[in-house]
Amino acid sequence: MKAPSFAYAKAKSLAEAFELIERPGARILAGGQSLIPSLNMRLASPELLIDITGLKDLQGIDRRPGGLRIGALVTHAQLQRSDAVDQHAPLLLQAAAHIAHPAIRNRGTMGGSLALADPAAEYPACALALNATIVLVHRRGERRVPAAKFFKGLFETDIRPGEILAAAEFPKVERSVFLELARRHGDYAIVGLAGVADASGRRIAYLGVGATPVFAEQASRAVSLNAALELLGRDLQPQADLYNSSATKLHLAKVLLSRAWTTLSKPH
Amino acid sequence: MDHAVETTLTVNGTRITRRIAPRVHLVDFLRDELGLTGSHIGCEHGVCGACTVRVNGDIVRGCLMLAVQADGCTVETIEGLSDSKELAPLQQAFHEHNALQCGFCTPGMLMAAQDLVRSGTKPTRDEIRAHISGNYCRCTGYQAIVDAIEATINGKG
Amino acid sequence: MGKAELPLHAPGTKVDRGYIGESVPRPGLQRLLQGRGAFIDDLRFPRLAHVAFFRSPYAHALVKKLDFKAALRAPGVIAVLDGRAVAEYCTPWVAVLAHLKGIKSPPQHAIAIERACWQGEAVAAVVAESRSQAEDAVALIEAEWKELPVVVDMDDALAGRNVIHPDLGDNICFKREHDTGGVDDAFSSAVVVVEETFHFGRHTGVCLEGRAILADYNAGEHSLTVYHATQAPHMMQDIFSRHLNIPEANVRVITKDVGGSFGIKVHVYPDEMATAAISVMLRRPVKFVADRLESFLSDIHAREHKAKVRLACSKEGDILAFDLDDVTAIGPYSVYPRTSGIEGNQVVNLTGGPYKHQKYRAKMHVVFTNKNVTCQYRAVGHPIAVALTEGIVDIAAQKLGMDPAEFRRRNLIADDAYPYTFPSGIKFEKLSHHKTLDLLLQKMDYKALRAEQAELRKQKIYRGIGLASMIEVTNPSPAFYGVGGARISAQDGATLRLEPTGMLTVMCSVTEQGQGTEAIFAQIAASAVGVSLAKVKVITGDTGITPYGGGTWASRGAGIGGEAVLLAGRALRSNMLDVAAAMLKMDKAELDIAGNAVVHKLTTEKKLELAELGRVAYFRPDTLPLDFQSELTVTRHYTPRQYGFTFTNGIQASLLEVDPDSGFVKLLKHWCVEDSGTVINPMLVDEQLRGGVVQGIGAALFEECIYGPDGQLLNGSMADYLVPMAGEMPDIVCAHVETPTMQSQLGAKGVGEAGTAGAPGAIMNAINDALAPLGARVTRMPFTPERILKALKKVD
Ligand SMILES: Cc1cc2nc3c(=O)[nH]c(=O)nc-3n(C[C@H](O)[C@H](O)[C@H](O)COP(=O)(O)OP(=O)(O)OC[C@H]3O[C@@H](n4cnc5c(N)ncnc54)[C@H](O)[C@@H]3O)c2cc1C
Ligand code: FES
Ligand code: FES
């Protein structure tokens, strides 16, 4: 199927992007790896696409005190090649390998993935586990939103009209584990687990179990695997998908928890 | 009504300027406007890989990039990489191993495979399979394709 | 005796087989490797118009009103047409065959009139200057619908509370019963009786290239040229001619490159008929290429079956009887012209096929539902018959405590028992079950694998080994379709022409869809005539050029088309020797052809280059004797007739690992031993098997068209319908036993469908073998992680 008609503008500056975004029916185009398929299926019909891929402000991976700032336009492939990510947020590196396939990773962006907030996507769950801060910019200034408040519903985030996702900031966490169960290489997973641990404790988030990525709060705090498995049933009320019932998803989430537990429970 | 945007890009070494409707994706542009019909369309939702082309040196899904986004870009297609002989070793290995049947997936498959060949790594069979895991082939069952890529990279016959 | 004069398989003789049996790479592949093929969508035509269809969003609904006003005003729109408008140019069809007694189906139009019977059935067509514009206008069509009761489930269809086509009385398209007698006695006397019900998920072909047609009507000569991605150009020529009322000779069907077919592209599709009709109506070239989303809604589906099978067995382990009850749901219409009754019919014919029991009873119902239509798809009926046969055989072996390989050895029909009539009525010329079993067990080192499996189980690693023996229909005679009144050719023809330069042009009615048909025809022609492969050019897929024939389906290309090429090659060679004898003033019997030259038969001394022969024959025939006329173009045909089908046999094995925690299956390796008679090109045969196996694995593990209770297809995109990709597929080891068929001189049987026929059964048995120590069994394909977890009672 062919996309419906729309206009296109490539923003040359953030200021221009802010102006364009006010136009009726305007929509941001980043890597296009989620937006263009939906256009090609005529599931979306924007009037104007604002291509932000030329904006320098949204690019680059920078080391910051205590963490990492990843620009919205950093592609999955760039992230995979980054030493800084390897050192400061290895979880993201582990997760990126599960996203689609090389040709898609060459264009798909971190910002696009977070902004889309697909509950089965890898980065949103990682952002939750890592307690990332999402940086949103607007004509009138910047807003910093913790990941826990950013994902609000199915494909729904805290991005307000006129805002652009500029970057995500990730605190440094070395011990992490990312696991997922996907039927085929590169598919969106049935269920995935993003877990980190440091002196302050464990943080385990799930993908593929609800309308948003879900932080398994009680399981994260559990003292033993058995307790965690028990508590996970309270953290998660997975929604069924085409191939898996809610019970299956919960079961698989537990399987992943068992597999991740040792890594996340070593003493510091 | 079609909001055409003037776009200049280099395709297989030739600079081209066209007014393009934004909704036209890169593969439709290459096929319909430039007559480069080697890049194929198998799904238009990013899953099958038949449309794989190279933009600024990286492989991309041609159906998931608007042609207007290629403004200022260098685009290489199966036709270009065949003429430049860059693909010749892979093409020969594909031929010898019968790594294509109907040949519909082949241009995209070769683009994905060449990406791995160019990376300079020595992948295992599993890594080869992973690298082409986004390229659908209904005919071959993939083994001959893996064999051909392995032979090209590792010089195995 | 010279080369290639004997039947290639004549026992006790050593024949120069030329290229037969050689793994030569397919000539002419560079075109496809360089992206320079000619698929339908690659063709460029002046004044080409594009069609897009407005398809029913409902599974069953009356079309109360269609409003085209807005669509007609949209930019680029040339015409917007409903079913009645198209029916003026294209007559409807009814897909029944006389030999499927009692089969019924209502008339079907190119575009539905008044009522849509499945979600995706086209109810209007938009013709525009571009595909995008046509789609824009489709979105502007306004329709008023009245929803009708929907029949989705096959049991509901059978029960018949809602009848989809009231004129037909019930929802039963076709039923068949078969009984050798003595089945009840066998079961009551048997020590071991096992029973299981198997479910097969409806799935589809997903050719990478969508269905494609470009019809070009010339009003000046009332002629229609159709560029069509089809497997059967002559069949389509006949159909276009009859339904569009154009004299047969004025219809030319040209099939260039086809991006995969697998049976998907051998049927008559309403939207394709509409495209041809619209070309006639608008007097211009018109193109339709199904996009991926509409492919899922309109390409034929297949294999939705529920089958209960029972097996009776003696205490020693001898199978005594099979009892089968199969139901299959086919959508609202039987598909033209092959009908949708054949798949179920095959299940009845083939179930129990490899084994020597004498008692067999079967009952089979084909029912209408409000889902997309189903019809023949690669290996038609075989995957069902093989899986349920091999599934129940394994259950019996398990109950007896016998090793599955031993149980098969005990029951497979003996290799010296042929010719043999199986209790379903089918006849086997000569099969080699025991040879293939032995070779398989040796190739896979069965004993060592079993030992390893036992060892790993102690470490809670659950590996499974699954076997699937099978028989397969190939080289069908007119008994398949022709006897039922279908205008589908069981014979094929080949024309060979010696060109003046000594090259050979081969024109054959069997088409190329990637299997390598053209390559093997070149091998056969080169071998039969005595030229090198590089001298042969093969042309297929053009009703204006090739002899008449059936095309590509039912594993018939090599066995039937190949035989026609062989016969034509030998005749041409003889004619060439006549010319040589006249030129050289020698006795024909002293001459032979080898290495592109006429040679002395005994001394092999070169006598005459073929280029010289060609030059004289074409340009200086004045130098030949007055009473001599050279005939350097020869046509021969071939139809298999002694047997209804030339059965092949084979056996597959799967090795895999099941993770009982996640329900995930990891495929480790697959073996396939096949007896397809004379192997013309081992590499191509292996690649047919491998591709087929992976298609079968798709059915076993991934592929299913999932419908909601309202008849909506829920996974109609490649993101949701899972096909096998490279990452999960195993390496596949192939090996061969060669038992040539004596019906032809070439001795080749078919092989294109074998992989797909056997793989699902082998995978199922391997999974169940892995699950056996855990007391679980799966019987519902595809075997998703959830279904495995449910069998393990890990989830409800
Ligand atoms: C076959 C296939 C398989 C895939 N598999 C996976 C997978 O397994 N896991 C996974 O995570 N993803 C997967 N993806 C999606 C891919 O990762 C996308 O790249 C990603 O979801 C979106 O990033 P993008 O840059 O392409 O965004 P786009 O498609 O350009 O945009 C997506 C949405 O985000 C908005 N947006 C984008 N950037 C910004 C911004 N900076 N500020 C505000 N809004 C913005 C857009 O308006 C749009 O609504 C897959 C895609 C395909 C085609
Ligand atoms: S056509 Fe682009 S991925 Fe299928
Ligand atoms: S060769 Fe046909 S799809 Fe790959």
SS (H, E, C) C499-510: CCCCCEEEEECC
Q: Ligand 2: which atom is nearest the Cα of residue B61? A: 2
Q: Give residue C17's pLDDT band: very low, low, confident or very high (50, 70, 90).
A: confident
Q: Which of C136, C706, C725 sits opposite A184 (nearest CB)?
A: C725
CA dist., res. C231 & res. C511, Å (int) = 6
Contact between C772 and C398 under an 8 Å Cβ cutoff? The reply is: yes
Residue A226, judged by CB atoms within 10 A of its CB (0-12, 13-18, 19+), counts as exposed
B124 touches chain C (CB under 8 A): no
Q: Give CA–CA dist C742/C608, Å, rounded.
A: 35
Q: What per-residue confidence (pLDDT) applies to C3?
A: 43
Chain B residues with CB under 8 Å of A96 CB are none
Chain mean position to CA C84: 34
The Å distance, Cα C666 to ligand 2 centre, comes to 27
pLDDT in tens, C675-684: 999 999 999 9
Residue B2's pLDDT band, with cuts at 50, 70 and 90, is confident
The reported pLDDT for the residue numbered C737 is 97
State yes or no: pLDDT of A167 exceeds 50: yes
pLDDT of residue C6: 52
CA distance A53 to A72: 9
Is the per-residue pLDDT at B157 higher than 80? no
Of B40, B100, B146, best ligand 3 pocket probe by most atoms within 8 Å of the beta carbon? B100
Nearest-CA distance C106 → chain B (Å): 33
pLDDT for position A66: 86
Q: Which fold has domain B5-81?
A: Ubiquitin-like (UB roll) (3.10.20)
Residue C13: the pLDDT is 46
Could you count the other beta carbons within 10 Å of the beta carbon of residue C666? 12
Q: Is the peptide bond before B123 cis (omega within 30 degrees of 0)?
A: no
Residue C756 near residue C747 (C-beta atoms within 8 A): no
Contact between B12 and C34 under an 8 Å Cβ cutoff? The reply is no
Residue C14: pLDDT band (50, 70, 90) is very low
Instruction: Locate C429 and state its tokens.
Output: 């010329």
Q: Which of B21, B69, B115 sits opposite A102 (nearest CB)?
A: B115
Report CB contact under 8 Å: B138, C29: no
Superfamily of domain C47-148+206-298: Aldehyde oxidase/xanthine dehydrogenase, a/b hammerhead (3.90.1170.50)
Q: Tell me: pLDDT of B111 over 50.
A: yes
Confidence of residue B154 (pLDDT cuts 50, 70, 90): confident
Is the pLDDT score of B155 beyond 90?
Answer: no
> Whose CA is closest to atom 3 on ligand 3?
B137
pLDDT over 50 at C2, yes or no: no
Tokens found for residue C345: 């019919």
User: Closest residue (by CA) to atom 17 of ligand 1?
Assistant: A108
* CA separation for the pair C665, C668 (Å, rounded): 9
The mean pLDDT value of chain B amounts to 97
Strands C665-675, C648-658: pairing is: antiparallel
* Domain B86-153 indexed as CATH 1.10.150.120: yes
Please give the model's pTM, rounded to 2 decimal places.
Answer: 0.97
* B23 closest CB neighbour out of A5, A51, A106: A5
Specify the fold of C301-478+642-791: Aldehyde Oxidoreductase; domain 4 (3.30.365)
Q: How confident is the model at residue C74 (pLDDT cuts 50, 70, 90)?
A: very high
pLDDT at C293 over 90: yes
Judged against a pLDDT cut of 80, whether residue A266 lies above it is answered with: no
Q: How confident is the model at residue C8 (pLDDT cuts 50, 70, 90)?
A: low
> What is the phi-psi region of residue B29: left when phi exceeds 0, alpha when psi lies from -120 to 50, beta otherwise?
alpha
Q: What is the mean pLDDT of chain C?
A: 96
Q: Where in chain C is the domain with CATH 3.90.1170.50?
A: 47-148+206-298
3-class DSSP state of C735? strand
pLDDT of residue B156: 56
A36-65 pLDDT per residue, tens? 999 999 999 999 999 999 999 999 999 999
Residue C1 has pLDDT above 80, yes or no: no
Contact in structure between A173 and A194 (CB atoms under 8 Å)? no
**Number of Cβ pairs closer than 8 Å across B and C?**
175
Take residue C555 and report the two structure tokens written for it.
Answer: 């594993």
Identify whether the C-beta of residue C313 lies closer than 8 Å to the C-beta of residue C319.
yes
Q: Which ranges of C301-432 would DSSP assign to H, the alpha helix?
A: 342-350, 382-400, 404-411
**Model confidence over A73-85: pLDDT tens digits?**
999 999 999 999 9
Whether C445 shows a pLDDT value over 80: the answer reads yes
Q: Is the CB of A111 under 6 A from ligand 1?
A: yes
| pLDDT band for position C554 (cuts 50, 70, 90) | confident
H-helix or E-strand spanning residue B109: helix B106-118
User: Smallest Cβ distance to C664: which of A181, A186, A187?
Assistant: A181
Please give the average per-residue pLDDT across A191-207, as a whole number: 95
Confirm or reject contact between C460 and chain A (CB < 8 A). no
B1 touches chain C (CB under 8 A): yes
Distance, in Å, from the CA atom of C739 to the CA atom of C71, rounded to the nearest integer, reads 61
Contact C717 A1 (CB under 8 A): no
pLDDT tens per residue across span C374-391: 999 999 999 999 999 999
Q: Is the pLDDT of residue B1 over 70?
A: no
How many CA atoms lie within 13 Å of C46's alpha carbon, on the beta-carbon side? 0
Of B64, B115, C716, B74, the C-alpha closest to A112 is: B64
Q: Which residues line ligand 3 (CB under 6 A)?
A: B 100-105, 137-140; C 208, 260, 514
Ligand 3 center–CA C537 separation, angstroms: 23
Quick: pLDDT tens for C527-542. Answer: 999 999 999 999 999 9
- Overall CATH class of domain C3-9+18-35+491-638: alpha beta
Which strand ranges, in their side-by-side order, compose the sheet holding C536-540?
Answer: C536-540, C504-508, C492-498, C633-638
Is the distance from CB of C142 to CB of C67 less than 8 angstroms? yes
Provide φ and ψ at C42, rounded to 5°. -85, -15
pLDDT band at C729 (very low <50, low <70, confident <90, very high): very high
Residues of chain C within CATH 3.30.365.10 domain(s) are 3-9+18-35+491-638, 301-478+642-791
CA of C255 to the centre of ligand 3 (A): 17
User: How many other CB atoms sit within 10 Å of the CB of residue C315?
Assistant: 9
Average of pLDDT values for C667-677?
Answer: 97
- Each residue of C608-627: pLDDT tens digit? 999 999 999 999 999 999 99
Instruction: For residue C764, give both structure tokens.
Output: 């199922």
> pLDDT band at C5, cuts 50/70/90?
low
Could you state, in order of their start, the residue ranges of all structural domains in chain B? 5-81, 86-153
Residues with CB under 6 A from ligand 2: B 41-44, 46-51, 61, 63
Residues of chain A contacting C784 with CB distance shorter than 8 Å = 183, 243-244
Domains of chain A, earliest start first = 7-51 (3.30.43.10), 56-171 (3.30.465.10), 175-263 (3.30.390.50)
- Quote the pLDDT of residue C10: 53
| Mean pLDDT of the region C460-475 | 97
